[in-house]
Amino acid sequence: MLTALVPLAALAAAFFGFLFFHGLAIDRAPYSQRRLWRAIHVASLGGAALGTLANCALVFDSTAQCLLMIPLVLFVWRITYFPLMVFSGHVVSVSEWIHAFVGMPIWIYGVFLLVIGVLHTGVSFLSGQLLAPIHPVVYVALPVLFLFACAVSFAKPVDLHLLPDRFASLDDPVPPPVAPRQNPYFSRLVGPGYVPHQRIVLLAAGLTYETIPPSPWGRTVKAVLEGLFNEKPRASTADRVRDHYLAYAAAHPFIGRRDFSECPSLPLAPEPPTH
């Protein structure tokens, strides 16, 4: 196992290092939708491949298990792509706030891509336990995670397509950066028009909204998403993926800022419709 672990660790270090430094280059350049889209796919698919290699090198006993792992990990990548993208953005907002607070350099997409890569590596590796289980708790935990990931990834029947993210380019105008007004998700938890799995997503989104710290990039992303959600509160997951890219584009000029006092005055996010 040691002979396989050393090259695997070296490959992982090189991959994660590439993601981090490529993300720093994205921070310093003008926003490019295609470049960010490509980077997220490299991070997520590369992480999925790394987790598969780890299973083949360290866990599996047969070639058949490695071959079965390929369709399994692609399916897992499909249902976890957007949930992990959202969670990684949340981690970045916390990282941004901590770095600003302690006076460290602020990294946005370096952290973002690194977290995406690490999470997909871990999820890919753990999904291999379906083919070579280590502990019976796997059979309890994985269905719960599977149902949550599907609830986020398939909000409407229109989301039942092969790829989770088809926004290599965006035709929509970038919204102006705004400041948050109020949590738009919790108020709709008990309202009409949502099926149970959509209410689970509302709860998760509401908790995420409340825990994003008041740092310039993260706060702007949160506020732009608030306004886009209020414009279309019952959108598909594909719409939400597009909304996140629009929010990233709107917040890009705020990368590296440490306080909103350094930024232009921001209007509040649009209020939700009253009807």
Number of independent structural domains in the chain: 1
The residue that leads in pLDDT, 230 or 130, is 230
pLDDT (tens digit, 9 = 90+) per residue, 46-89? 999 999 999 999 989 899 999 999 999 999 999 999 999 999 99
268 assigned to some structural domain: no
214 assigned to some structural domain: yes
pLDDT (tens digit, 9 = 90+) per residue, 112-132? 999 999 999 999 998 988 888
272 assigned to some structural domain: no
pLDDT above 60 (res 182):
yes
pTM, rounded to two decimals: 0.94
DSSP annotation of 31 reads: P
275 assigned to some structural domain: no
236 assigned to some structural domain: yes
According to the model, what pLDDT value does residue 223 have? 96
269 assigned to some structural domain: no
pLDDT above 70 (res 224):
yes
Q: Which residue has the tokens 């921001």?
A: 266
Residue 6 contacts residue 108 (beta carbons within 8 Å): no
**Could you tell me if residue 247 is left (phi over 0), alpha (psi between -120 and 50 degrees) or otherwise beta?**
alpha
49 assigned to some structural domain: yes
Domain that holds residue 200: 2-262
108 assigned to some structural domain: yes
According to the model, what pLDDT value does residue 41 have? 98
